[in-house]
Amino acid sequence: MRILQGARGFTLIEVMLAILLLAVLLAAAFGGIRSAVKGMHFGEDLMDRTNRLRVAQEFIRHQVSRILPLPFGQETGTGENLLFEGKRDLMRFVAPMPGYLSNGGAYVQTLELSNTRNGRQLLFNHWMLNGFDKDKLNKGDSEPVVLMDQVESGKFEYRKLDDQGELEDWSDDWDEPNLTPVMVRIELKMRKEALVGWPDMEIPLMLDVGAARQSNTVRFDDILPREGMAVPPNNASGSTR
């Protein structure tokens, strides 16, 4: 009589090895998917930061190059017109705003490097020239726009012509507020988290510098408001027409 023997099954060790191999394959697959997703997010962040940098530089170049020799105030004591305020971390000037961002006309505009917990930020703000009073500015009156963040350090520099018409060296302190500079330079060093670097900007003004020198004949009080606008306060006491 022949006895049929049952088929031999897997041993416990073989089952455990198969499960271990399957776990390794699944871990490798999930690791690959995670790396792909992480790489995709990094690429999207890099593209977003690059586009933001490009838009910020184009906007700054457009505004600074179109600075107008229009006064936004007067110096205390001397009564001289304030056409341009330039410091290492702030510049203030008058220029037209793009039509899609305003109602047209001249606006007082500022670029500023401001300190935050996550580094410095490049901020932009603007106010209508009519009725503008530098001494009455409040931070809550207008919310600045963050052009760039994750800035480690930076500075604004300015250049002018000497008496012989030659370009002088760059300076981070503009000492002739009744004149406009010939060129403006913006240097920023970005933090590692920013993912992008800031190419230094050297922006020549489209306006002839001679016009800025002649603009001293136009006083701040003589700028007439547009129809429907409030009349700016008379800061020069006792001035005559």
Q: CA-to-CA distance for 78 and 178, rounded, in angstroms?
A: 11
Beta-ladder partners of 151: 120, 190
Strands 85-86 and 119-128, by their bridges, are unpaired
Domain-embedded: residue 173: yes
pLDDT 10s digits, 93-144 = 999 988 777 677 899 999 999 998 878 999 999 999 988 888 777 766 678 9
Give the chain's domain count: 1
Answer whether residue 13 shows pLDDT above 70.
Answer: yes
Domain-embedded: residue 19: no
Domain-embedded: residue 120: yes
- The predicted structure's pLDDT at residue 55: 93
Q: Across 7-16, 86-95, 213-222, which has the greatest mean pLDDT?
A: 86-95
pLDDT 10s digits, 195-226 = 889 999 999 998 655 445 544 444 445 444 44
Answer whether residue 145 shows pLDDT above 90.
Answer: yes
- The predicted structure's pLDDT at residue 217: 46
Domain-embedded: residue 115: yes
Q: Domain containing 134: what range?
A: 50-221
Strands 183-190 and 90-96, by their bridges, are unpaired
Closest C-alpha to 56, from 194, 179, 172: 194
pLDDT top residue among 112 and 48: 112
Domain-embedded: residue 33: no
**Is the pTM value of this prediction over 0.75?**
no
